[in-house]
Amino acid sequence: MRRSSPSGVIAFAPQQCYHKGMNNISIFVPAPGHPLSPFIAPGSAIVGREPVSGRISVYYEGNIYNTPGLARFADRVFTAAGRLAERYPTVARASLSATSLRRIGRWDDERGEVVLDEPQADALLAAYLGLGVLDRSELVALGSSRWQIRRDLEAARTSADPATRAAADWYEQHLARRRR
């Protein structure tokens, strides 16, 4: 939806389309010394919830067909998280021993980003993905324009330009009025 602000800046309203079930989704990598299950491709995004009786039900996305939209780790996480939230019937699901996985972070669906738990999670994820150093862009999903709109709005709030900050304030107030 296209809107015009008092300062003449054009803004587009983000769609409010995230799924409630996509909160509290954990991201895992194989624990040191535990080989990956033979049916999970190396570098797959592996997501799940807290373990139950020593096992974790996980969904995964390995981009085995080299789809360009799943090249980034965060986009693979988003795909696997969507399957988990919807309990989607798929072969990309497994029940694994909790000791075979190490939690490295969580999925932030509002921002479209992988949030790592601790500094050493960077090194664990980089090693799992076969990278020397983790490129931080791997943690940011490109799959939805709503995420980019939120990132742009955050950048506008901290801009040195007063008109840009004013437009961001107006836009946030406008969104708050629409939610009421």
- 41/87 Cα distance (integer angstroms): 21
- Is 45 in the same domain as 95? yes
The answer to whether 3 touches 10, Cβ cutoff 8 Å, is yes
Bridge partners, 106 (sequence order): 26, 115
- 118/45 Cα distance (integer angstroms): 18
- Is 84 in the same domain as 162? no
| Number of domains the chain is built from | 2
- Is 44 in the same domain as 131? yes
The answer to whether 75 touches 143, Cβ cutoff 8 Å, is yes
pLDDT given at position 151: 78
pLDDT given at position 16: 37
Q: How many other CB atoms are there within 10 angstroms of residue 153's CB atom?
A: 16
Chain-centroid distance, C-alpha 106: 8
Q: How many residues does the chain have?
A: 180
- Is 67 in the same domain as 120? yes
- pLDDT tens per residue across all 180 residues of the chain: 444 444 444 333 333 344 566 778 999 999 988 888 888 999 999 999 988 899 999 999 999 999 999 999 999 999 999 999 999 999 999 999 999 999 999 999 888 899 999 989 999 999 999 999 999 999 999 876 777 777 788 888 899 999 999 998 898 888 788 877
- Is 132 in the same domain as 155? no
- Is 123 in the same domain as 151? no
pLDDT given at position 18: 46
The CA–CA distances, whole Å, from 162 to 3, 20, 139, 154, 166 equal 20, 35, 30, 14, 6
- Is 8 in the same domain as 70? no
- Does an H or E element contain 26, and which? strand 26-30
- 37/31 Cα distance (integer angstroms): 12
- Is 128 in the same domain as 156? no
- Is 163 in the same domain as 129? no
- Is 69 in the same domain as 34? yes
Q: How many other CB atoms are there within 10 angstroms of residue 94's CB atom?
A: 16
> What domain range includes position 48?
24-139
pLDDT given at position 19: 57
- Is 135 in the same domain as 163? no
pLDDT given at position 127: 94
The CA–CA distances, whole Å, from 163 to 13, 75, 176 equal 19, 33, 20
pLDDT given at position 168: 87
- Is 108 in the same domain as 135? yes
